[in-house]
Amino acid sequence: MTTRSRSGRLAPPADEVFAARKRKPVPHEFVLEALAPLGPETRPLFGCLAVYVGEKIVLALRDKPGPDNGVWLATTEEHHAALRRDLPSMRSIEVLGKAVTGWQVLPADAPDFEEAALRACALIEAGDPRIGKVPGEKRKKRDAPRAGASSAPEKIAAGSNAAKRPRARR
């Protein structure tokens, strides 16, 4: 059955539109299969596919034109050296424009790519604290009030000038 769109033109049924729309293949799908016992969830992230285990983002899977295709590891700079001992092909991501970032990549063009990616999955399954971040955790720490700092309601309760000024009527 054909329907009319808002402009009055004939449009195919919705189920045909959705059937014609193809989903992008999951890059490096073997990684998700390896993490299946943990019940990973995926979400789009900057043209990649982010992989979450619980509340932590642990990986991003990337396969598109340009550099840095492979498995991106969510980590912090303090863990790079230790992870590099376990994952020798790991390196900083170039497309982020910084010399060193928390994110590291296991490049898809490395000779040991699949082996390294599966080793990273085994580390995640073992609960290795070097891989995975809770999104927004750094921002929450940065935005948290400092010790001894008072908030606006406390200032008003303490009798600041703002509390004593009469409000303008509209």
Note the pLDDT tens digit of each residue in 107-146. 999 999 999 999 999 999 999 999 999 988 665 555 555 5
Give me the pLDDT at residue 144, please. 57
Give me the pLDDT at residue 152, please. 42
- The H-assigned helical ranges of the chain are 14-20, 29-35, 80-86, 113-125, 137-143, 152-157, 161-164
Judged on CB neighbours under 10 Å (0-12, 13-18, 19+), 131 is buried
Assess if residue 11 is contained within a domain.
Answer: no
Assess if residue 37 is contained within a domain.
Answer: yes
- When divided into structural domains, the chain yields a total of 1
Give me the pLDDT at residue 98, please. 76
69-112, pLDDT tens digit by residue? 999 999 999 999 999 999 999 999 988 887 788 899 999 999 99
Give me the pLDDT at residue 36, please. 96
Assess if residue 107 is contained within a domain.
Answer: yes
Assess if residue 18 is contained within a domain.
Answer: no
CA torsion, ordered 48, 52, 55, 58, to nearest 10 deg = -80
Assess if residue 64 is contained within a domain.
Answer: yes
Assess if residue 169 is contained within a domain.
Answer: no
Q: Which of 131, 121, 127 is nearest to 82 (CA)?
A: 131
Residue 160 has pLDDT above 60, yes or no: no
Residue 98 belongs to domain spanning: 23-131
CB count in 10 Å sphere of residue 134: 13
6-62, pLDDT tens digit by residue? 556 665 665 555 555 566 788 899 999 999 999 999 999 888 999 999 999 999 999
State the first-to-last Cα distance of the chain, in angstroms, to the nearest integer.
Answer: 58
Residue 1 has pLDDT above 60, yes or no: no
More confident residue, 152 or 135: 135
Domain at 105, CATH number:
3.90.1150
Assess if residue 10 is contained within a domain.
Answer: no
Assess if residue 4 is contained within a domain.
Answer: no
